[in-house]
Amino acid sequence: MLAKRIAAAPPTATYLRHRLFTDLLSPTQLARALRREWRPASPDPNAFAALAFALAELRLTVAHAFTSMPPKGQRSFAPLFNEALNAIGDVPLDADLISSLQEYLETVAGECRRLVPIEVMP
């Protein structure tokens, strides 16, 4: 649903910025809420793993929404989508996570770089 909301946005910088950053249901607002609600001192050992997985999924959703844009839109808005991916943030890969989750986070980071390249060819 989140990717559809982003993809359905009119292809203007102002509207896409709103959908990615300031809309109450934007991926960056959701990431902020997740980070705010996460308790570092939580007695649940899986709490940080759940946060890491949720942030990775948000990043992947943004990257896939980017790929649904026409090539001209991708060229124009790649910097904006990269800004959103950076705002959501990576989970430090040196965090104490089980190896399968660590591997998944590395895979998601690579997939985001592949789907939303830093520099888009004209």
pLDDT tens digits along 8-25: 888 889 999 999 999 999
* pTM for the structure as a whole: 0.85
Enumerate residues 6+ apart whose C-beta is below 8 A from 73.
11
Query: In the chain, where are the structural domains located?
Result: 2-115
Give residue-wise pLDDT tens across range 92-111.
555 666 788 888 988 999 99
Show contacts of 104-110: CB within 8 Å, 24+ apart.
104/53, 104/56, 105/52, 105/56, 108/56, 108/57, 108/59, 108/60, 109/56, 109/59
Give residue-wise pLDDT tens across range 31-47.
999 888 877 767 776 77
